[in-house]
Amino acid sequence: MSVLASLLSVGKLAMVVVRVQGAPPGFGLYVLRNGTFDEFEPLTLGTTQNKAGDSPSSSEAGLSSADTPISLASSYGSPDDVKEAIKELGHAFPGQYLVQTNKDSLERYGSSENSYHPSSPHSVIVQVKSTKDVVTVVNISRKYRVPLVPYSGATSLEGHYSGYPSGSICIDMFAMDQILEINETDGDLQCQAGARWDDINRVLKEKGIPLFFPLDPGPGATIGGMIGTGCSGTNAVRYGTAKAEWFLNVTVVLPSGKVIKTRQRARKSSAGFDTTKLFIGAEGTLGIVTEATLRLAPLVPTKVAMAQFPDVKQAVSAVQEILNTPCGPHIRICLTCVIHTVMSAVNTAGIVEKPYPVQDTLFFKLQGSPDHGGTRFEFAATDEEAEDLWENRKYALMSTLASNPGMKCWTTDVCVPVSKLPQLVYETKEDLTQAGLKFTIVGHVGDGNFHGLILFRDDRELQSVGEAVHRLIYRAIAMDGTCTGEHGVGIGKREYLVEELGEDTVELMKTVKRAIDPLNLFNPGKLYPESKSR
């Protein structure tokens, strides 16, 4: 048998936990307290309601036997604790509208008209303006054991900011939108987490600074949400995603109330492992990002064009040849492929001045050749035309809804190796057609990212859409792909993580979560799948 020792720090309690390997599950655990060893009771994994201030149990502190899946179940405050937390928040933030408890706001902040996953209203909403404010809210959350859910741009599609059923504090960071410093010479910028990427680029343009932040998800997305979901956008082929080097550092409030800055502003560092990336894609479950330093890119003159093809397969073939040429990696190539039904919807909705031919279409920023059977290739002649043409690709959702009045839309995304994209599109079109569903498809063809916009009228059709999305996700994973290319996991896709990543990888993620947030207060019920007995 061997001995493993680890140090736990929970609140004011510090202890050394020693495990004797080879002992039966639940035994062989000893804790060093005040110089003496006490044996732990057998571990139990479950959820109870403790009074505010109670110390976590061993399972809550992240301890589990080697052959038992890690549970993130935790004990949250009682309804009275929630009331006390709300009262203390009111004293800490006395300004008008800073603390909200009206029913409409609680429901609006806890759900989204763009998401059809289960949702719950929050118990209270707190608007913050500084890192210090966030620390205050975190400390009250921990004191009363009330879950904490961050909220900013409200553009999430996977239920990331839904409330927790037993009660939750929604920390509204929308007002933390300041650009703190622009370092033009170094090509970086510091801002608060509520700043919106499109506003940042607008300010840079207005100041005449020939730089921009290249990550471009949906309009209105904030830096905090972009970090949390590990976002990308149409520029990903050339500039990568949030998990590249676009965030030099982040300032984070941990569940303990401590504030950390992950690194300095230097462009590169080999000092330890990259803690910045620990929070990218963590969806607010490990810490609340309050500030970030963004790396900027030079503005490059571009031409915007539209090319149309007989089918997606030939469009993808053209893109692959472009990307695999010697100059491919150096071209600012931003590609969006929309299938013919999108072009039809755009025409029907009357959004564009002149109708487009109804074919599978590439919108992109580069020059190209007709070798792959392109039937139409149109360059924008002026900057205004370029902006209009590039914006037209964003009309997919609006056009789809406008051309189908009375219907709602479930938007989802997956990502596969680029070579698999034509097969994925073909099989998904066949599946959705056989299910009798209306849909449009938009893909970032340069990186294999695929967005399905599936329409429904009633609960029966909604169930059918949910089943189709389920099949789409498993289809993508079977092609060596992922359940989400850029929307994130949230509530909607956590059940697929074990299938995609493997059980041991998911257990490693939970181990990190338990170490940082032993009370599971930060955005619970998101990202991590429920544990299943082995």
Give pLDDT tens digits for 72-112.
Answer: 877 899 999 999 999 999 999 998 889 999 999 999 999 88
| Domain limits, CATH 3.40.462.10, in the chain | 305-478
| Contact assessment for residue 389 and residue 275, using Cβ atoms and an 8 Å cutoff | no
Look at phi and psi of residue 284 and say left if phi exceeds 0, alpha if psi is from -120 to 50, else beta.
left
| Contact assessment for residue 402 and residue 349, using Cβ atoms and an 8 Å cutoff | yes
Structure tokens at 97: 């509208």
Q: 325 or 529: which carries more pLDDT confidence?
A: 529
Residue 358 has pLDDT above 90, yes or no: no
Q: What pLDDT sits at residue 236?
A: 85
* The residue type at 349: A
Rg (CA), the chain: 25
Question: What CATH number labels 79-172?
Answer: 3.30.43.10
Residue 463 has pLDDT above 80, yes or no: yes
CATH number for 179-298: choose from 3.30.230.10, 3.40.190.10, 3.40.190.170, 3.30.465.10.
Answer: 3.30.465.10
| Domain limits, CATH 3.30.465.10, in the chain | 179-298
Q: What pLDDT sits at residue 137?
A: 99
Strand order in the sheet with 3-10: 3-10, 13-20, 29-33, 36-39
Q: What pLDDT sits at residue 430?
A: 94
Q: 198 or 450: which carries more pLDDT confidence?
A: 198
Q: 381 falls in which pLDDT band (50, 70, 90)? A: low
* Pick from 184, 181, 211, 207: nearest CA to 195: 181
Q: pTM for the complete prediction?
A: 0.80
| Domain limits, CATH 3.30.43.10, in the chain | 79-172
Class of domain 305-478: alpha beta
DSSP of 371-412, one letter per residue?
TT--SEEEE-SSHHHHHHHHHHGGGHHHHHHHTSTT-EEEEE
Q: 497 or 342: which carries more pLDDT confidence?
A: 497
Q: What pLDDT sits at residue 207?
A: 98
Structure tokens at 320: 């692959």
Q: How far is Cα 239 from Cα 235, in angstroms, rounded to an integer?
A: 6
Give pLDDT tens digits for 138-159.
Answer: 999 999 999 999 999 998 889 8
Least-confidence region, from 98-112, 254-268, 402-416? 402-416
Provide the mean pLDDT of the chain: 81
Tell me which H or E stretch contains 250: strand 247-253
Q: What pLDDT sits at residue 14?
A: 42
Q: 38 falls in which pLDDT band (50, 70, 90)? A: very low
Give pLDDT tens digits for 201-253.
Answer: 999 999 999 999 999 888 899 999 999 999 998 888 888 999 989 999 999 99
